């Protein structure tokens, strides 16, 4: 059975798409609104702007790929769809970072978990970070709107065995757990969300908001990397971009984008990096600081029965038992989830080599993996990371300090306890020096004594937030609570870089809801002006 590919069909119908790798001479394009990036923020902004009747250009650094090319192999997905072919790391190499780079941004490859911004986060931002007007009540209609738009609802299917272990462990221990809501329509439950949905069931920006904007006449320019924001006094007057080749290296052709209003949605890290490269005014030295990752530690467990963690909805159960236990500003909490288990992902995020690694890989189908996502950015000792420019790009300096390691140790213990309670035969905290543990009492002791350190303990993250925070006080924010620049009339930021702290929850729905609100307010204003 052939799968309908809305991208292929739309292009055939005459959508405005320019693949910049094919452009051979400099090009200037103009619109009411230019949006940089086509991920969670950019996609939603594009649809809302286009719906309001404004002319829109979406500039995306990555390629336009669609279900036709999603072949469920990591070797194709990572280089095509991820930043740095999924090998991005922090400056000291202690944390691996996953971020999307294609039309649809990270939503093209994300795992579909959809969670509204936690009350704790909103309350903290209002109290400590001068954020105004974003409360559970005021945001509720925006979340509801996006939940409806993206078909977000509870995943009523039986969880896959990987998620089932999380559920059973929580049940056995009396811990809280929640059935996850997912943004899917007609999902085949194959488990390959992270490699681009091959059947277009995931309601990512690639198949929802971006096609809707293109349907309304928006222009999409792919393989065009915005390199510089040009400004004079309090006005942005253009964006300079480089056309990229098929392999995403600059072709030497320059593109210029002009608009009445500019929206940066390049994602946390890239929006701040672009601002820094363009030397935008930053009197309080805020840009690129307080970047947050939900640094995540992993615990492997071997079960007697087949787990097949590669198969079925990658995430369908989470536990918030330990996220806010000590209050928002107290010791760092952590959220328990499971990741999908695929060959490269697991081979690279485990330890060792040679026979021991081969033995672990041979038990691939028996391997259950639990992850703990540490909620960073609330505690005074949790300042996150800092984007720095390099000759060729950027790096993220993200020191892992004691406050984090204390949380990580507690998290390793919780994960082991949970996995044994769910029936694991053996548990392996993924950190150098640890071996397979065979019981909870043994694990408890070993984890209390284990050495945790950067480069020794595997830490990863698929959630990048912050670096261009919102708020009313310019001393701690770059944009106001509606995402409008404090320094430029015609500049907004609509992506994950807005968050003043991490969320303590998977970010996509927070970005969708907050962008829907801010883009709607902006569209109304721009309409009045035109």
Ligand X SMILES: Cc1cc2nc3c(=O)[nH]c(=O)nc-3n(C[C@H](O)[C@H](O)[C@H](O)COP(=O)(O)OP(=O)(O)OC[C@H]3O[C@@H](n4cnc5c(N)ncnc54)[C@H](O)[C@@H]3O)c2cc1C
Our CA angle for 476, 482, 485, nearest 5°, is 60
> Per CB under 8 A, which of residues 423..482 are in contact with other proteins?
432, 454-456
Query: Which of 262/405 has CB closer to ligand X?
Result: 262
Query: Which of 43/339 has CB closer to other proteins?
Result: 339
Query: Which of 192/303 has CB closer to other proteins?
Result: 192
For other proteins, the binding residue among 11, 23, 27, 72 (CB under 8 A) is 72
Secondary structure, 3-state, 406-432: HHHHHHHHHHHHHHHHCCCCEEEECEC
Cα–Cα distance measured from residue 427 to residue 121, given in angstroms and rounded to the nearest whole number: 33
| Number of residues this chain uses to bind other proteins (CB under 8 A) | 47
Q: Which partner in ligand X, other proteins, none is near 3 (CB below 5 to 8 A by kind)?
A: other proteins
Query: Which of 270/349 has CB closer to ligand X?
Result: 270
The closest of 452, 28, 70 to 259, measured between CA atoms, is 28
Q: Is 84 in the site for other proteins (CB under 8 A)?
A: yes
Cα–Cα distance measured from residue 352 to residue 363, given in angstroms and rounded to the nearest whole number: 15
Q: What is the largest CA-CA distance in the chain?
A: 69
Q: Is 85 in the site for other proteins (CB under 8 A)?
A: yes
Torsion angle, alpha carbons of 72, 506, 380, 385, to 10: 30
Q: Which partner in other proteins, ligand X, none is near 288 (CB below 5 to 8 A by kind)?
A: none
Query: Which of 298/494 has CB closer to other proteins?
Result: 298
The closest of 454, 435, 457 to 446, measured between CA atoms, is 435
For ligand X, the binding residue among 15, 70, 78, 111 (CB under 6 A) is 111
For ligand X, the binding residue among 32, 51, 56, 61 (CB under 6 A) is 61
Whole-Å CA distances, 240 to 24, 54, 228, 468, 492: 16, 21, 5, 21, 17
Tell me what percent of the chain is helix, strand and coil, each rounded to the nearest 5: 30, 25, 45
What is the b/e burial string over 27-64, where b = at least 16 CB atoms within 10 angstroms of the residue's CB? bebebbbbbbbbbbbbbbbbbbbbbbebbbbbbbbbbb
User: Which two three-digit tokens encode residue 285?
Assistant: 């030295």
Cα–Cα distance measured from residue 508 to residue 366, given in angstroms and rounded to the nearest whole number: 30
Q: Is 426 in the site for ligand X (CB under 6 A)?
A: no
Q: Which residue is nearest to ligand X (CB)?
A: 39
For ligand X, the binding residue among 31, 36, 121, 369 (CB under 6 A) is 36
Q: Is 348 in the site for other proteins (CB under 8 A)?
A: yes
> Per CB under 8 A, which of residues 365..394 are in contact with other proteins?
365, 390-393
Q: Between 217 and 256, how does the x/- string for binding to other proteins read (CB under 8 A)?
A: ------------------------------x---------
User: Which two three-digit tokens encode residue 522?
Assistant: 């902006």
Cα–Cα distance measured from residue 287 to residue 425, given in angstroms and rounded to the nearest whole number: 47
For other proteins, the binding residues (CB under 8 A) are 1-3, 71-75, 79, 84-85, 87, 89, 92-93, 188, 190, 192, 198-199, 247, 310-311, 343-344, 347-348, 353-359, 361-362, 364-365, 390-393, 395, 432, 454-456
For ligand X, the binding residues (CB under 6 A) are 36-42, 59-62, 98-102, 105-107, 109-113, 194, 225-226, 265-268, 270, 274, 315, 462-463, 495-496, 506-508, 511
């Amino acid at each position: 059975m052939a799968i309908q590919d809305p991208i292929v069909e739309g292009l055939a119908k005459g959508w405005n798409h320019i693949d910049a790798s094919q452009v051979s001479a400099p090009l200037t394009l103009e619109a009411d609104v230019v949006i940089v990036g086509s991920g969670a923020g950019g996609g939603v902004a594009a649809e809302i702007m286009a719906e309001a009747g404004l002319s829109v250009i979406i500039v995306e650094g990555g390629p336009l790929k669609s279900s036709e090319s999603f072949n469920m192999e990591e070797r194709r997905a990572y280089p095509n769809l991820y930043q740095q072919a999924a090998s991005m790391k922090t400056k000291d190499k202690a944390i691996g970072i996953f971020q999307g780079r294609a039309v649809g941004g990270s939503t093209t490859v994300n795992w579909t978990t959809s969670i509204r911004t936690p009350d704790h986060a909103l309350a903290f931002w209002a109290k400590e970070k001068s954020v105004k007007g974003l409360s559970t009540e005021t945001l509720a209609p925006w979340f509801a709107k996006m939940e409806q738009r993206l078909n977000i609802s509870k995943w009523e299917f039986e969880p896959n065995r990987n998620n089932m272990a999380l559920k059973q462990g929580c049940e056995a221990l009396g811990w809280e757990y929640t059935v996850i809501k997912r943004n899917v329509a007609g999902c085949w439950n194959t488990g390959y969300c992270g490699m681009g949905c091959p059947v277009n069931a995931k309601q990512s920006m690639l198949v929802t908001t971006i096609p809707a904007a293109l349907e309304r006449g928006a222009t999409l320019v792919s393989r065009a990397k915005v390199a510089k924001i040009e400004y004079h006094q309090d006005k942005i007057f253009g964006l300079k971009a480089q056309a990229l080749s098929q392999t995403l290296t600059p072709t030497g052709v320059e593109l210029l984008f002009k608009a009445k209003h500019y929206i940066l949605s390049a994602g946390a890290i890239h929006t701040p990096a672009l601002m820094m490269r363009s030397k935008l005014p930053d009197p309080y030295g805020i840009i690129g600081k307080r970047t947050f990752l939900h640094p995540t530690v992993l615990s492997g467990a071997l079960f007697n029965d087949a787990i097949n963690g590669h198969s079925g909805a990658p995430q369908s159960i989470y536990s918030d038992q330990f996220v806010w236990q000590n209050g928002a500003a107290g010791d760092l909490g952590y959220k328990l989830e499971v990741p999908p288990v695929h060959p490269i992902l697991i081979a690279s995020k485990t330890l060792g080599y040679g026979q021991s690694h081969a033995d672990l890989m041979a038990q691939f189908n028996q391997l259950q993996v639990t992850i703990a996502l540490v909620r960073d950015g609330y505690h005074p000792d949790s300042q996150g990371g800092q984007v720095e420019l390099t000759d060729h790009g950027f790096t993220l300096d993200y020191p892992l300090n004691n406050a984090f390691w204390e949380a990580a140790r507690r998290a390793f213990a919780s994960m082991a306890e949970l996995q044994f309670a769910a029936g694991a035969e053996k548990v392996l905290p993924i950190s150098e020096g640890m071996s397979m543990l065979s019981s909870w009492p043994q694990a408890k002791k070993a984890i209390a004594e284990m050495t945790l350190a950067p480069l020794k303990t595997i830490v990863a993250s698929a959630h990048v937030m912050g670096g261009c925070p919102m708020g009313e006080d310019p001393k701690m924010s770059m944009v106001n609570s509606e995402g409008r620049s404090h320094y430029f009339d015609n500049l907004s930021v609509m992506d994950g870089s807005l968050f003043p702290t991490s969320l303590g929850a998977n970010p996509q729905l927070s970005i969708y809801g907050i962008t829907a609100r801010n883009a709607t307010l902006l569209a109304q204003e721009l309409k009045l002006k035109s």
